[in-house]
Amino acid sequence: MNAVPTPLAWINGTFLPEAEATVSVFDRSFLYGDGLFETVRVYNGIPFRWNQHIARLHAGAAFLGIRLPWNGDALAAAATRLVQRNDLPESLLRITVSRGIGLRGYSTRGADRPMIVLTLHPARAHDPEDPMRWKLVTASNRIPSGDRLATFKTNNKLAQILARTEAEQRGADEALLLNTDGRFAEAASSNLFWLENEVLCTTPLAEGLLAGVTRDFVLELARGLGWSVVERSCRIWQLQQASGVFLTSSSFEIVPATDLDGAPLKQSPRITTLHRAYRDFVQQLG
């Protein structure tokens, strides 16, 4: 029998067994969530929408004032090698950035050696003809509308963690987050879409949501199919009256929602059509 390879991680240029891939207890990401991350779906060994993920990572690093020691090309080479060495052509690549170690306290002085970590996790294909379906609830905590930090995937996601925990406690799969203006912004780990007859709708970035890479791709797909697409504010009644509601993320692609706060939501075949287009595109990669 062939031995199972030891899973590897990559830290600042070095490949290590995952069990040995550690950072200091004084690392600022551990202490304060002072850093960023990206989750990239790998299809047939190729990180999907790599340029978009890296652009968001670099924009976030610039906003936080973190100097990344590796550029996009170097990280792409490391990611490709990590996929090959772990033999995981269908996987989720996690890029984690920390400001590193600095002085005790909130000051960033002296924290000038950022850490970049790459890890891999197995991923499964999602079938548009037999998709997973999520029950949704409205989270009780709210997020700020117009929050600039929401534009980036920072390592501090306590609002989203609390929302997901609340959803699970209430027997749901995912939570929708209202902003401080009382409108839906996004879900805990995904972006929100709904159909108003033939029009595909999603919430605008000004509501305080993450500009998801998969969100952008789905908008491109829909326009390519000739659909009308709009960004508009959303309150609960719009989802209740929608002809279909779904969520998007790099990990799960497109997930239809079955109910919200215990009330059933309508199901639309157009969601399956969109997901088929998604799968047709990614299956051509490689």
Nearest to 182 by CA among 149, 152, 138: 138
Residue 2's pLDDT band (cuts 50, 70, 90): low
Strand partners, 179: 143
Q: What are 136-178's pLDDT values in tens digits? A: 999 999 999 988 899 999 999 999 999 999 999 999 999 999 9
Using the CB atoms, write b or e for 168-207: b if 16+ within 10 Å: eeeebbbbbbbbeeebbbbbbbbbbbbbeeeebbbbebeb
The yes-or-no verdict on residue 1 having pLDDT over 80 is no
Lowest mean pLDDT among 37-46, 142-151, 200-209: 142-151
Nearest to 265 by CA among 244, 235, 236, 247: 244
The structural domains of the chain, ordered by start, are 8-122 (3.30.470.10), 134-282 (3.20.10.10)
Q: What angle do CA 249, 255, 257 make, to 5 degrees?
A: 125
Other C-beta atoms closer than 10 Å to the C-beta of 280 total 11
Q: How far apart are the first and last CA of the chain?
A: 29
Spatial neighbors of 133 by CB under 8 A, at least 6 apart, are 255, 256, 257, 258
Inter-residue contact 90 to 47 (CB < 8 Å): no
What single string gives the DSSP state of each residue in 141-152? EEE-TT-GGGGS
Residue 19, classified by CB atoms within 10 Å of its CB into exposed (0-12), middle (13-18) or buried (19+), is exposed
What single string gives the DSSP state of each residue in 219-240? HHHHHHTT-EEEE----HHHHH
- In angstroms, the CA 50 to CA 187 distance is 23
Q: What are 242-268's pLDDT values in tens digits? A: 999 999 999 999 999 999 999 999 999
Residue 5's pLDDT band (cuts 50, 70, 90): confident
Other C-beta atoms closer than 10 Å to the C-beta of 104 total 7
Whole-number pLDDT of residue 159: 94
Q: What are 92-135's pLDDT values in tens digits? A: 999 999 999 998 999 999 999 999 999 999 998 899 999 999 99
Residue 3's pLDDT band (cuts 50, 70, 90): low
Residue 84, classified by CB atoms within 10 Å of its CB into exposed (0-12), middle (13-18) or buried (19+), is exposed
Tokens representing 210? 């993450």
Mean pLDDT of the chain: 95
Residue reference for tokens 């600042």: 12
Strand partners, 95: 38, 118
Q: Is the pTM of this model over 0.75?
A: yes
Q: What are 72-89's pLDDT values in tens digits? A: 999 999 999 999 999 999
Residue 286's pLDDT band (cuts 50, 70, 90): confident
Residue 4's pLDDT band (cuts 50, 70, 90): low
Cα radius of gyration (the chain): 20
Q: What are 183-195's pLDDT values in tens digits? A: 999 999 999 999 9
The yes-or-no verdict on residue 240 having pLDDT over 90 is yes
